[in-house]
């Protein structure tokens, strides 16, 4: 996508103290993907020559999560300018544009970065106009949209705070010239840090050109707290809902449907209220998903009907024109075309053949306390209500299983099997039982 050579530097060395979590801030999810995962995916869309992530000391949690993307250690952390300086050796031979972006900005779009790349300048800064300017630094703009300076909030005055054009922190530098400019950064400010923002005045002082590109405020939401995380999730979900509607999906109550970052829905899919898609879901054309269903790591074939109150767990592979009804759970199982499990069933570690009917209350008993075992049900099988299929077990094509059966051995093709205890009637037993209980009271 990028029109010129690009390197990406993701800054992620912050302490995340406001999240009050043992999990690093940038690893908290939005739409089922870590914040920094969104940033790296955006960067990948730009086809950069190199990508690095700057982390702090003892942040192996982040380094492990972003692998194979290489990480650079900033120790000790001495500001954003110092963070970029730490990448000097990694980018020493690189010539081109260096994008500096933050690991806690999951909503930033590749198209916005592309707009920055298309500007002829030594330094390009991404600005925005938030409703609440909070403690953002301000962008001091001169003639012809040139950028004179970035003034950090801690160091500005009331006059500058009236300026609502704010610094997002996202910046495009030019390598190799930026490294000499970064050497001129000083820490004589209220925080005693090396501000990356000072590179604007340094570049201007050397006769270089600095400009501002503006972006939508939603794109530049940085996540510093749980409240910010919730705001980012809300914006992400609105994007996904709009995308679904525009692509030919009907959402009966859009605000109640939740998507993951990789949800794929075909045309003429209908989604009822309160449906949740976890990561790894692909839905083919013409599928109806009824209310209160939860779907994760699953594939659903054309024309199938899911729910209401259905749960598809990872590994669920649903064929064409399949019915998975209310309170049915499917995990790590293939359900072939035209099969039905309309109510109150659990299908785990199984293969259900085409046009088979699974009766209400049926379960595959797939776990023996140590290992999972497979159940294979052939095509055209009828499994009666309240049946327990104790894996490993195989049911042949066309077999009939009587209601209430517990199947522990294979059933041959076209056989009928009923496994029930003999009925035993105890005359007057109910009356005597109640009388005994009343006496006990």
Sign of the Cα pseudo-torsion (115, 27, 134, 98, in order): negative
8 A C-beta contact, residue 397 and residue 415: no
Q: Do 358 and 282 belong together in one domain?
A: yes
Contacts of 388 (CB under 8 A, 6+ apart): 362, 363, 365, 405, 406, 407
Q: Do 138 and 260 belong together in one domain?
A: no
| Arithmetic mean of pLDDT, 198-202 | 95
The DSSP call for residue 258 is B
C-alpha–C-alpha distance, residues 411 and 396, integer Å: 6
Tell the residue number behind the tokens 């995308």, with chain if given. Answer: 243
Contacts of 164 (CB under 8 A, 6+ apart): 129, 130, 133
Q: Do 400 and 276 belong together in one domain?
A: yes
Where does the pLDDT of residue 387 fall: very low under 50, low under 70, confident under 90, or very high at 90 and above?
A: very high
Is 91 inside any structural domain?
Answer: yes
Is 429 inside any structural domain?
Answer: no
Q: Do 247 and 368 belong together in one domain?
A: yes
Q: Is the pLDDT of residue 131 over 70?
A: yes
* b/e 231-242 (16+ beta carbons within 10 angstroms → b): bbbebbbeebbe
Is 434 inside any structural domain?
Answer: no
Q: What is the CATH number of the domain that holds 124?
A: 3.90.550.10
The domain in which residue 144 lies consists of 6-220
Residue bearing the bigger pLDDT, 310 or 136: 310
Where does the pLDDT of residue 259 fall: very low under 50, low under 70, confident under 90, or very high at 90 and above?
A: very high
205, 220, 235 — which closes off a domain?
A: 220
Q: Is the pLDDT of residue 147 over 60?
A: yes
What pLDDT score does 14 carry?
A: 83
Q: Do 186 and 159 belong together in one domain?
A: yes
The share of the chain scoring above pLDDT 90, in percent, equals 86
The pair of structure tokens assigned to 392 is: 């490993």
* The model scores a pTM over 0.85: yes
What pLDDT score does 281 carry?
A: 98
What pLDDT score does 158 carry?
A: 63
Specify whether 343 is catalytic: yes
Contacts of 269 (CB under 8 A, 6+ apart): 248, 249, 250, 283, 285, 286, 287, 288, 289
C-alpha–C-alpha distance, residues 295 and 280, integer Å: 9
The catalytic residue among 294, 343, 351, 373 is 343
| Arithmetic mean of pLDDT, 100-121 | 97
Is 337 inside any structural domain?
Answer: yes
Q: Do 66 and 190 belong together in one domain?
A: yes
Closest by Cα among 195, 194, 196 to 178: 196
Q: Do 44 and 117 belong together in one domain?
A: yes
Q: Is the pLDDT of residue 57 over 60?
A: yes
Instruction: With H, G, I as helix, E, B as strand and everything else as coil, classify residue 110.
Output: helix
The DSSP call for residue 292 is T
| Arithmetic mean of pLDDT, 413-419 | 96
Q: Do 32 and 151 belong together in one domain?
A: yes
The pair of structure tokens assigned to 237 is: 């979900």
Is 193 inside any structural domain?
Answer: yes
What pLDDT score does 360 carry?
A: 98
Q: What is the CATH number of the domain that holds 297?
A: 2.160.10.10
Instruction: With H, G, I as helix, E, B as strand and everything else as coil, classify residue 26.
Output: helix
Q: What is the total count of domains within the chain?
A: 2
Q: Do 292 and 354 belong together in one domain?
A: yes
Q: Do 201 and 260 belong together in one domain?
A: no
C-alpha–C-alpha distance, residues 163 and 83, integer Å: 27
Is 84 inside any structural domain?
Answer: yes
Contacts of 440 (CB under 8 A, 6+ apart): none
Q: Do 214 and 331 belong together in one domain?
A: no
C-alpha–C-alpha distance, residues 417 and 44, integer Å: 57
Q: Do 206 and 242 belong together in one domain?
A: no
220, 237, 265 — which closes off a domain?
A: 220
| Arithmetic mean of pLDDT, 302-320 | 98
Is 385 inside any structural domain?
Answer: yes
Is 324 inside any structural domain?
Answer: yes
The pair of structure tokens assigned to 139 is: 């962008």
169, 195, 220 — which closes off a domain?
A: 220
């Amino acid at each position: 996508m990028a029109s010129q050579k690009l390197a990406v530097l993701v800054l992620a060395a912050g302490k995340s103290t406001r999240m009050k979590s043992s999990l690093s801030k940038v690893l908290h999810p939005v739409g089922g993907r870590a914040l920094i995962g969104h940033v790296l995916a955006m960067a990948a869309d730009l086809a950069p020559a190199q990508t690095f992530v700057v982390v702090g000391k003892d942040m192996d949690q982040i380094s492990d999560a972003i692998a194979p993307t290489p990480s650079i250690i900033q120790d000790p952390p001495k500001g954003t300018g110092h963070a970029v300086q730490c990448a000097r050796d990694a980018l020493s031979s690189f010539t081109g544009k260096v994008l500096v972006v933050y690991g806690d900005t999951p909503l930033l779009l590749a198209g916005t970065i592309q707009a920055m790349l298309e500007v002829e300048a030594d330094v390009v800064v991404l600005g925005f106009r938030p409703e609440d300017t909070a403690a953002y630094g301000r962008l001091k703009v001169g003639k012809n949209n040139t950028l004179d300076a970035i003034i950090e909030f801690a160091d500005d005055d009331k006059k500058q705070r009236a300026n609502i054009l704010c610094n997002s922190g996202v910046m495009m530098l030019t390598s190799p010239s930026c490294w000499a400019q970064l050497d001129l950064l000083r820490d004589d400010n209220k925080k005693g840090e090396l501000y990356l923002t000072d590179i604007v005045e340094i570049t201007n002082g050397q006769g270089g050109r600095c400009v501002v590109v503006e972006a939508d405020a939603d794109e530049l939401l940085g996540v510093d707290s749980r409240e910010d995380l919730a705001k980012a999730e809300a914006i992400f979900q609105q994007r996904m809902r709009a995308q679904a509607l525009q692509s030919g999906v009907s959402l009966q109550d859009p605000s109640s449907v939740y998507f993951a970052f990789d949800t794929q829905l075909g045309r003429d899919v209908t989604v009822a209220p309160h449906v949740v898609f976890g990561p790894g879901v692909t839905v083919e054309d013409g599928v109806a998903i009824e209310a209160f269903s939860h779907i994760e790591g699953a594939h659903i074939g054309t024309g199938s009907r899911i729910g209401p109150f259905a749960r598809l767990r990872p590994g669920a592979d649903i064929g064409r024109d399949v019915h998975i009804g209310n309170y049915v759970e499917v995990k790590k199982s293939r359900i072939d075309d035209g099969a039905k499990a309309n109510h109150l069933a659990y299908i785990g570690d199984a293969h259900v053949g085409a046009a088979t009917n699974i009766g209400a209350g049926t379960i595959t008993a797939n776990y023996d306390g140590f290992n999972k075992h497979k159940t294979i049900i052939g095509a055209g099988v009828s499994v009666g209500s309240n049946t327990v299929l104790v894996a490993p077990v195989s049911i042949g094509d066309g077999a009939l299983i009587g209601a209430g059966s517990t199947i522990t051995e294979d059933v041959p093709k076209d056989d009928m099997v009923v496994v029930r205890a003999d009925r035993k009637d105890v005359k007057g037993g109910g009356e005597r039982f109640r009388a005994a209980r009343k006496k006990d009271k």
